[in-house]
Structure 1
Amino acid sequence: MEYQEKLLTREKVFRDPVLNYIYVQHQVILDLINTKEFQRLRRIKQLGPASFTFHGAEHSRFTHSLGVYEITRRICDGFLRNYPTQEAGDGLWDDSQRLVALCAALLHDIGHGAYSHTFEHIFGTNHEEITQEIITSPKTEVNQVLSKIGPNFAKDVASVIDHTYSNPQVVQMISSQCDADRMDYLLRDAYNTGANYGNFDLTRILRVMRPYEGGICFEINGMHAVEDYIISRLQMYMQVYFHPVSRSMEVILDHLLRRAKELSANLDKNDSTTPYLLMPFFKGEFDIDDYLKLDDGVLNTYFIHWIDSDDKVLSDLADRFINRKPFKSVEFNDETKYLIPNMRDYIKQAGFDVTYYTEINNSFDLPYDAYDPNKKHHTTQIELRRNDGSMIELSKISQLVSAVTGKHLGDERFFFPKEMLSVDNNIDLFEPVYQEFQKHIKNDELIN
């Protein structure tokens, strides 16, 4: 389907610390940015509780979404300039696909909720499904804007999100192993956390990226730039996204919401501290309107109220989250996991409810996934185009990428209250418990 839409009389620009300028040339893009659903993304942090570890990580889903739009726009410009289609079926870039690509890029994260990943785990929501609902529901301002382009335009944009859109080039711009989404969040998260691991040569990657009949590939002379991107992503996961303190705060948030959900059946409907905006989720009877009322600030407000709760567990967990009192953690493996039941027992003896004060958390990432005929599901391969036009998959020619291909990197950790590492002078009765617990942690370097 070809879509045409009027351009702005004069392009609008957003100043951006990562991409410098973000250019808006289409009226529909500006109108989408101004919808209430998109503006809500200003109130949702891109990295959630990671800002408790990296204090600069206060950036939002809004800024990231603008960044993904801008990188996609640059890809479209490069394709039009260097690889415009000459005839139907030639595998080159048909610029009538630009508008659906730009809208999908801008809206790809619009379904993310408050503290999105932890919230999804507790309440069973799915941000990709909600993204599609926001795009296609006549109730939303986003849908009303998209529908002005054409009766099927919103459905086409949603189909890019769920990978069913007919043009694989558009889908892979937004979702593949080297896409606008990943490239923006790596650069943006690196900038805001102060971690240089995520920096790579975006200009070079966009320069060697090109369309072909199967989607998007890269010129073989740009292999090293793509290698650098893969390793940057690996480093960001190991050093930033999987940081033990960030994971600790996510564990506390998870347990806090679980405790609140458990207590919700007995909440007084007339109590001013009742979290009315969360009640539909506690009951499992929420709709899109309920979902869009939530953001990080709404949850934080409830958490502040809960610090004064009569329920000691809810009160304590809320205090730990709001005032940054992370759990400690210790790494374990198959050889040492037998110690965990004993550690939990000591924690229980010290007076903690192990359901809410302990957790096993594992974080693993697949830096690069090459095709495996034995797998049912496959990620899009990074294909390199040789000078003769033939293709070769990245890990088959790059020793660096081959070394990390198919390998799940990360660790498993046991989280517990920090109090278990120091004896409170007022709890002499339990001093042996603390000593026995600490004997299980044989290597102090594992404590984080």
Structure 2
Amino acid sequence: MKDLAKYYPAHITELQNRTATILEREGLSAIAIHAGFASKIFLDDMYSPFKTNPHFKAWLPVTETPNCWLVVNGKDKPVLAFYQPLDFWHKVTKLEQDYWTDFFDIKIIGSADEVADILPNNKQGVAYIGAHEDVADKFGFELKNPDALLNYFHYHRAYKTDYELVCMRESNRLAVLGHNAAKEAFFAKASEFEIQLAYLSAVGQGDNDVPYGNIVALNENGAILHYTALEKQRPAQHHSFLIDAGASFHGYASDITRTYAFEKNEFSDLIEAMNVMQLELCSGLVPGASYVDLHIKNHHMLAEILNRFNIVTMDTEAMVNEGVTRHFYPHGLGHHLGLQVHDMGGFMSDDKGTHVNTPSEHPFLRTSRGIESKQVFTIEPGLYFIDQFLTDLSKSKHKDSINWTKIEQLRKFGGIRIEDNVIVHDDGIENMTRDFKLA
């Protein structure tokens, strides 16, 4: 992809500038970023899947190689200690010339401990960023994951460089391939497990490569928000299908959800109504607007749908004010997206980490930060028929306003969630997911 090489230099310049700014502010000289290492499973000789420190992969697309380090100071060429051991047990990732390699002073290390000769001798004023503070202690770092540095980088991570947007478009393109394959498998009456295999094959990524555990839910399983059981037995009848699945590209995630009805019925009409609502919410991602307000607007729009489909007979304003919609939609509208699926910095009002609380009645909202250009969000409204919340409603003062006959008809479908990945621009939005023709 030629755009990677085109935009990468400006990406590195931006990261260097951010690093120089925060080091000067904090009176530090450098940062040592540890990619991490693969952890051995307890009482076993196997390892848990390795996941790279997002602060490391922000700089370069090395996402599968443990024991690597970066030493950056915002001025000099960053030093990369690249782990390339001699190993006849496992396949070793070879370092090859690529669009990013000339931007680093690369030192090859054959063992994890060899990095000691590459790290600064004097650790005074050098901060360690990584998941393994015991490793930091071993190499003599006194300053480990300082809040000032993490807050600064997390806050600014929300503003994506053009290089990052190229990566995120590609992660969406890959995920759409998987979603189309999964949809086809559903209508061929496949099991959840078979649908998952179809998805991964189309994306070309394994369980440990995709950015999170895919949610592949048939029928009533769609009411379980983080369902990952993947039943191998095909159900007696296919009613509905909810898939929440993404892909990774150079460390950047996509996060997409779709819901399908097997037949044309009232549930399919509900899906279409939710789709119209979701697109309108996407259009609300305007610089200067409030994500919290957009989430609250979502509840008012959902109340109208619940009323229109005769699921709840209350006045829509009262439905929201009394918290009835939260029984059908218990999560937030979405979140920041990037190096992590739930990217950092969503609750900050500034780069010092000042926290902005979400409204107490919406505790699961994942961002309270204002909407700005170059940010990337998911928009994922939902409507579910969850036993726990329906039981609570049946015992509440609103029980007579619920159409329980309609609820019983809809329980077997589980729920609906529709999720796109959207870039905010000064002059409008870019819906990456829809641009790749996922309806």
The TM-score bracket by the shorter chain reads under 0.3
TM-score in terms of structure 2 length: 0.28
TM-score in terms of structure 1 length: 0.27
